[in-house]
Structure 1
Amino acid sequence: MQVAGPWLLGAATGVLVLLALLSAITAIALRERALHVHAAACALAALTANAEPLALTALAPAGLVGVMAMAAMHARGLATQIGAFRPHRRAMSAVAVVLALLAFVDVPAAQRWLLLPAAAILLALDATVLARVWDDGRPWAQLVALGQAALLGAATWMGLSPDWMAHHLLLGAALAAWALCVFVATAWRSRLQGERRWQLATARHEDPITRLASERVLDERAQAARTLMRRFGHPTSVLLLHADELDRIAERLGPRAAEAAALEAGLRLRMALGRADVASRVGDWRFAVLSEGASPQEVAAQLAGRILVAGLKRPLHNVDGVFLHFRVVVAPLPLDDTPTEALLARLGQHLDEAVRRGRDRRIHVLDDPHAPTVPAALPSNGSSAPVDTH
C-alpha cells in the first residue's frame, strides 16, 4: 500500500487536472458557464488532494472549503434554467460568498471544524436545487447528487477525523469521483438544453410533424413577395389545399393514423414544390403554398397538377388502398397588406363551399380572392382560363 499510494494519488490528481482542462474546453464549446466554475474547482481540488506531498497540510481544510464554495456557484449555474430560482440567484450567490469567506478565515486558523458548517450550507443548497429538478432532470440530476455526496462526505470526514492525512488517498479519490460525476452531469444537461433550444428555434420555422415551413415563415415570404410585386410586377400566387381522405381516416382509424397520413401528405407536397415555392400546414388537413414568379393560371396548370399527381402516385403507407385526393384553390397574392391569415381564411371559405357541394373539379382558380362567389374550376381540356362553375 505504501508503494501504490503515490501512484493512486497521482492517478486521482491526473483525473482532476484532465477534468479541469475538459471542463474549460467544453464550457467554451457549449457556452456553459457552470463548466467554467467547475474547471476552477477541479484545479483547486487537485491542489487540495496533494496538500501533504506539497507540505501544505494546514491549507487543506481551507482548500476544501473553497472547492465547496465553487460547488455552490456551480449549483447556482444549474438553477439558472429553473424559473422558480431566478428571483433567488442573488441569495444563492451570497451562499457561495459565505463559503468563500469561510475558506479565507480558515487559511490562518487551519480549523478543520469550519468544514462542518460549510458542508451543512452546501447540503442545504444542493437539496433545494436537486429537489426541483429530480423528476425532470434524471439521470443527470442523479449524477450531480452522487458527486456532491462524495464531496460532502470528504468534507465531513476531514472535519471529524483528526488523522485524516493518514488516509489522504481517500480524499483524492472522493474529489476525483465528485469532479467526474459533476462534469458528466453538467455536460449532459447542457447537451439536452442545447437540443431543446434547437427544437424551439426549429418549431418557430417548421411544422414539427410535416417539416414544412411554419405559418410565420409563410407570412414573411408573402410580405417579401409583395415588395417584388410592387417594384417589378413580380407575379405571385397562393394555393390552399385540402386532403379529403384525412377526415375519413380520422373518423375510421383515429387521430394518430390521420396525423401519420398528414405527415405523408406533407412529404409528398414538399416533393412537388419548386425552388421558389414555400408550403406550410395551416390546419388539421390543410396546407398553403406560396408560389413566386407564376400567375394563378400558370400555377393551376403546372404546380397544382404536380400536387394532384403526387397525391395519387401511390397509396398511403399506413392505410391500404387509400390515395390522397387534394382539392386546390389558387388565387393571386393581393398587393394590399391583407394579413396572410385573413387571406387563407377567405380562400378556405371558397374551399369549404367546393367541398360542401361535392364538386368533381379538383383545381379552382380565383381571379380575386376577396370575391364572394364560389371559385371557378380549371376546365378539363387543360386550358388555363377559368370557367364559371355555377
Structure 2
Amino acid sequence: MATENKYGTAERLMRYVQIDTQSDPESSNSPTTEKQKDLSKILVEELLAMGIADAYVDAYGYVYATIPSTTEKDVPVVCFCSHVDTAPDCSGTNVKPILHKNYDGTDIVLPDDETQIISPSKYAYLKQHIGKDIITASGNTLLGADDKAGVAIIMSLANYLVQHPEIKHGTIKLLFTPDEEVGKGTDKLDLQKLGATVAYTLDGGELGTLEDETFSADGVKIIVHGVIAHPGYAKGILVNALKIAGEILTALPKTEWSPETTEKRQGFVHPVSVNGIAEKATIDFIVRDFTIEGLLQHEARLKSIAEEVLKQYPSCSMEFIVKEQYRNMKEILDQHPAIVANAIEAYERCGLTVVKEPIRGGTDGSRLSYMGLPCPNLFTGMQAIHSKHEWIGVDDMEQSANMLVELVKVWEEKS
C-alpha cells in the first residue's frame, strides 16, 4: 500500500528539477557553475518562508539553515545534507518532469524521444511500484532526482517539523552543497559555521538501503616523456609519447581489474582521459578499492605495467603521480556506532527492512566523515541516475521523509 503523500515531496522535486544546476568538471570556479546558485537561492527563500530565520546561501553556493530544538534535552546536533548539482554525464537543461500516476507495470515510452524506453525488464525495481506514482524526465535529459530528491525530502522534513512543534527533537542543521558530482562538494564547506555533531546525506537509492561504506579513491596521473624531433628527420631519434601511452593502455588486463569487469567488493583501475602530443602524453586514471591496502596494490600493479612498457624505450621517462581523492567512510563511522544504529532504529520503526550495501563510489559523506563530521548515506528512491532513464517512486520519497521524522525522534529519545 502506498504512503499518503503528506510531505509533498513530489511537488517539490518536480519544481526543483526544472532548474538547470549541472556542475562542470573542467571549471576551477567555486561553484563550478553559477547556475547552481539559482536553486540554492530558491531553497533559502522557501526556508525563510517556512519560518527558518537563519537560512542563507554563501558566496560558494552552500545553503545553511537551522531548525531550533524543541526539547530541553542536550541532543547532538544532527545535519541532513544533499547536493543541488546534477551530473555532467547527461543534459540537465530544460528538464520536463512527468508524473505517472498509478503506474501499470508496462514499458514507459518517453515522449520527447520515443527511443528512450524505461522498461521493468531492464529495471526490475519498477515492478515494486505498480499501482504507485513515479516521476521520469521526458526523454531528452536526465531527471535530476540525483540529488534533488534528497533536497526535496529534506525540505519537506523541514516544513513538517516547523508545522509540528510538538515533535521533540534537538537542533537540526540543513546543508545543501554544490559540485558533489564533480568531486568538490565539500571544498568550500565551513564546518564551524555549520555547527553539527553528526550528519546524514540523503543521496541513496532503493527503499530501505543504508550505506555506511564507500570506495576509497585515488587519482593517478602517468606522464610519459618521449623524444621529439622534426618528423622529416626523425629516423632513429623520435620516440612518440602518444604511442607509448597507447601501449600502456593496451597492456592493461582485458578481463578483470576494470569497471566493466568488476562488481560488489572488487576494486578497479580505470583510465578516464588521454591527452598530449608526441613529446609528452598524460593518462589520467581513477583507482578504487574498499581498503587502503587494496588501493596501494592496484597502484603498484599499474606502475609496474607502465614501467615494463617504458623499459623498451630507454631514452624516455615516466612520472607516476598519485593524488588522494576520498576514503571509505566506514573507518570513521565504526568509531561512532550510534549514528548508524539510530538510523537503523528509525528505519525499523517505519516498517522498513534495512539493506546495508557498500557504495561502489563516493558521496559527500565520505569527505565529511574524514573532516570530522561522521556521515552515512540514506535512501531517497532514485534510480537509473545520470541517464535519460532516471526515475523515482513518489512513495519512496515520502517514506524517506517519514523515516527522517522518526530519526530525529530517536536522537532526542536516546539523549
Q: Taking structure 2 as the reference length, what is the TM-score of the superposition?
A: 0.22
The structure richer in strand per residue is: 2
**Larger CA Rg, structure 1 vs 2:** 1
Q: Taking structure 1 as the reference length, what is the TM-score of the superposition?
A: 0.23
